[in-house]
Structure 1
């Protein structure tokens, strides 16, 4: 792959929005020393950093040791915004955009009809529960196991549903996503970030992009001042919204089509490569010309 095209970088970016898995993180789920240094340099140059991920807030420990002053995370594909610097290392939710349980029940029924064999899990702000046939995550031992309809009926205002996950054992991932959007796209937002047929279902209109736009509006930051990074379909809307965006060298074809540029793969520190160029430009812009 050719090197990233430096001329495509904005002269004065104000915010970096980066996905985690397959993007900022290496395949072993570590953050390289080069990337840690690049994130810190961005903040020192006055460029804010947001982590924007499909992960739930409770899985954000992977970056907790590398937060420095950048501590805002948009989690669960835009359903929750967390300040990682608060909450005793777990983070403190500062915005929740939940999935209405009645709408989720309609989605479950629509997918049961359209794709028999689908199993479901329910992500809440404090718990992750799933059906008996749903493949459990090793990160979530002790989940409550019941049919999705019962799990959704147990949701409360204090513990709202933020995401429903749907798994199919035989369908191709992209085919399952297309099928689900056709069957229930009027009820909720559908995306995916797994290499398997695992769909992530959020409230209608909730996405990484829409929540990032809300957070930027609160700060007076326009989309043209944002640089975004991603690798999977749940990043597509964010990359299309940002003024400058980069698909990783390991990105899904839809992500490559949506982004304005490309960088090298996550295992080659593709995010750090671009940030280093951004920081160099920001420093050059602040230099006072020699008047001698």
Structure 2
């Protein structure tokens, strides 16, 4: 495996760069300094909101590119490079459908703030990990913000309880099981692969020059863009099928392990 041509490193956050305590290792920040000296660009690509990603990567926030909300928002140095919102006329239709799923809690994700309804209040302690900027509404139908993603949470299993109920919407939207408890609904063009392809074109980077890490179904499209795609040991089986290589788990510094080989 010859990594000598790599110009860009792209990694998912939860289950990939972050350990199970949602932490970025000091080891990674040291590695990033070495990547920077070699002019290798770092991209964080996550289903998280922009501010939540930046909080995790605060020491290097002005040196990286961020793909947030599953690719619906791309920002570099506080400048918006791409915004792909959900069609406004679909929002109420989606809220109607999601309201019929027992145990589901929907969040409307604006570019910089998430919107919860009062029924999700008991889960706010958990949800704050992913949505640091948020507002609570009595009725989500009252939200007028431009929405880039609808995230749906289930405390048992998103794949079992939420995905079957929204699978029929896949002709209208990008529907992704993004974690054990989450299903994300985005504009059909708003996914990590679409956003990363734009970033690669802008920076003149080819499939041979990019290293990509992921662990869940919302990473599939971006993994397919790289000849050096890595599934984490803890990855969903679908990811292991698509990725060309496998690394250690997120708790065993799987990303750092490969980046040290790159350096």
TM-score, length of structure 2 as denominator length: 0.87
- In structure 2, the CA distance between the partners of 1:36 and 1:179, relative to structure 1 (3 Å rule), is same
Tell me the C-alpha RMSD between the 2 structures.
2.3
Aligned length: 256
| Shift of residue 182, structure 1, vs aligned partner | 2.7
Are positions 1:190 and 2:175 aligned together?
yes
| Shift of residue 167, structure 1, vs aligned partner | 3.0
Aligned match of 1:48: 41
Q: 1:1-292 residue pairs with structure 2 within 5 A? A: 7=1, 9-59=2-52, 60-67=54-61, 70-83=63-76, 86=77, 91-112=78-99, 115-116=101-102, 118-134=104-120, 135-136=123-124, 137-138=127-128, 140=132, 143-151=135-143, 154-155=144-145, 160-168=146-154, 172-176=157-161, 178-196=163-181, 198-279=182-263
- In structure 2, the CA distance between the partners of 1:112 and 1:96, relative to structure 1 (3 Å rule), is same
Larger Rg: 1
- In structure 2, the CA distance between the partners of 1:132 and 1:20, relative to structure 1 (3 Å rule), is same
Any gaps of 5 or more consecutive residues in structure 1? 1-6, 280-292
Which is worse superposed, 44-53 or 204-213? 44-53
| Shift of residue 66, structure 1, vs aligned partner | 3.7
Structure with a larger share of its residues in strand: 2
Distance 1:278 1:224 in 2: 13
- In structure 2, the CA distance between the partners of 1:166 and 1:46, relative to structure 1 (3 Å rule), is same
| Shift of residue 206, structure 1, vs aligned partner | 1.0
TM-score, length of structure 1 as denominator length: 0.79
- In structure 2, the CA distance between the partners of 1:106 and 1:224, relative to structure 1 (3 Å rule), is farther
Any gaps of 5 or more consecutive residues in structure 2? none
| Shift of residue 181, structure 1, vs aligned partner | 5.0
| Shift of residue 169, structure 1, vs aligned partner | 5.4
- Residues 110 and 183 in structure 1, CA contact (< 8 A), matched pair in contact too: no
Distance 1:70 1:274 in 2: 21
Distance 1:242 1:70 in 2: 22
